[in-house]
């Protein structure tokens, strides 16, 4: 089995760009592996809980806080839909009450880090990015350049942006151009 190709292979050229004396933003990529969606109806909690429990998680979580345990990250993206990253094949968990969908190739992650990372986000999304409003562990679903994305705050000034693979280059370019005034460092592809 070959390695999946990152949609940003052509973009992640390491180097420093933009404002010469500044290092406000570092952009990088991270492969999103094993991404699954579980969805249900009615008593979604009852049917989803066994799946989550088997991963060591206690509940469905909420719409702003991601749950993380080891390599597993869980985002509750709708009342009856949950995204799970870093999990095993969940196909066996499917039932008439619980729909399971492999989305492992739908998204890639753009990582944003640095002292100006919140400023950069404020340039591309109309949501409060101040630390008090969007702290570590929290996530939000919004649009960058008209494309739906999920942004997960993974550290004080660090974010993962899950973007649809076919839109990845355009989002990358938007972030790149917006980051230039802050001084931009591109990391070697992960």
- In the bound complex, what is the minimum distance in angstroms from residue 65's beta carbon to another protein? 20
8 binds another protein (CB under 8 A): no
11 binds another protein (CB under 8 A): no
Name which of 139 and 167 has its Cβ closer to another protein: 167
- In the bound complex, what is the minimum distance in angstroms from residue 122's beta carbon to another protein? 5
Q: Please state, in angstroms and rounded to a whole number, the distance separating the CA atoms of residues 24 and 8.
A: 21
Q: Single out the residue of 55, 72, 103, 189 in contact with another protein (rule: CB under 8 A).
A: 103
- In the bound complex, what is the minimum distance in angstroms from residue 56's beta carbon to another protein? 25
From residue 110, give the alpha-carbon distance in Å to each of 1, 38, 46, 58, 190.
25, 23, 34, 28, 11
Q: Single out the residue of 111, 171, 185, 186 in contact with another protein (rule: CB under 8 A).
A: 171
Candidates 12-20, 50-58, 62-70, 151-159: pick the segment binding another protein (CB under 8 A). Answer: 12-20
Q: Single out the residue of 55, 72, 165, 189 in contact with another protein (rule: CB under 8 A).
A: 165
136 binds another protein (CB under 8 A): no
Checking 70-76 for CB contacts under 8 A at 24+ apart, the result is 73/152, 75/139, 75/150, 75/152
Q: Please state, in angstroms and rounded to a whole number, the distance separating the CA atoms of residues 178 and 190.
A: 22
Q: For residues 163 and 86, is the Cβ–Cβ distance under 8 A?
A: no
- Cβ neighbours around 62 below 10 Å, total: 10
């Amino acid at each position: 089995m070959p390695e999946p190709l990152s949609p940003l292979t052509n973009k992640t050229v390491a180097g420093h760009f933009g404002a010469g004396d500044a290092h406000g933003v570092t952009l990088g990529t991270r492969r999103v592996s094993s991404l699954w969606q579980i969805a249900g109806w009615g008593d979604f909690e009852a049917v989803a809980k066994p799946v989550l429990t088997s991963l060591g998680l206690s509940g469905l979580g909420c719409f702003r806080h991601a749950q993380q345990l080891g390599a597993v990250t869980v985002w509750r993206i709708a009342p009856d839909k949950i995204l799970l990253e870093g999990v095993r094949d969940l196909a066996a968990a499917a039932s008439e009450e619980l729909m399971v969908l492999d989305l492992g190739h739908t998204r890639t992650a753009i990582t944003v880090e640095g002292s100006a990372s919140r400023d950069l986000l404020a340039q591309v999304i109309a949501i409060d990015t101040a630390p008090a409003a969007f702290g570590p562990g929290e996530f939000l679903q919004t649009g960058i350049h008209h494309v739906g994305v999920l942004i997960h705050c993974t550290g004080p000034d660090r974010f993962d942006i899950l973007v649809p693979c076919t839109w990845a280059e355009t989002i990358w370019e938007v972030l790149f151009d917006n980051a230039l005034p802050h001084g931009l460092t591109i990391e070697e592809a992960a």
